[in-house]
Amino acid sequence: MTLSELNNLPKPALAEALQKCCGSTAWVENMAALFPFANAETLMQEATAQWNKLTEADWREAFTHHPKIGGSVEALREKFASTSQWAEGEQASVKQASQATLEALATGNEDYERKFGYIFIVCATGKTADEMLALLQARLPNKPEDEILIAAGEQDKITRIRLEKLLAA
């Protein structure tokens, strides 16, 4: 889809397209209200600006729209039908991970979610399963008030990548 096509979508279709990029209702509403955009660079800048204006509750809502790193392909397909292809591609390296890495990711995910109250969010694009595991383990000792900011930064990266994919589709 081109930026021109995105700019000309009716509001419900625009909101649906934006929802594929970020699961925060407030972000989708704020972004939809700003359309049309003159160029992709302005769209990307505004996506980050709007993300950074949100509350922690809005960020946590966006996190619920992601599968767990290392989650099953079946879970990806069922829970995230509209973005499963993107998420599956973003986490493609997990398919080649060793059993030990997969088990460590599962345990780490449980520990992370128990400590912080949301799933481990990382921009998985271009990272191996072992790299994601190392990041998870490195972030587990963080204080909740620090970790939420890191997770929000990762979500911003994911949103920008998905906006790029949306415009390339």
Q: How many residues does the chain have?
A: 169
Catalytic residue of the set 60, 65, 66, 139: 66
Please confirm, yes or no, whether 65 is among the known catalytic residues: no
Alpha-helical segments (H) within 68-143: 73-79, 84-90, 99-116, 129-139
Q: How far is Cα 111 from Cα 137, in angstroms, rounded to an integer? A: 10
| CA distances for 3 relative to 23, 42, 111, angstroms | 20, 11, 41
Catalytic residues: 66
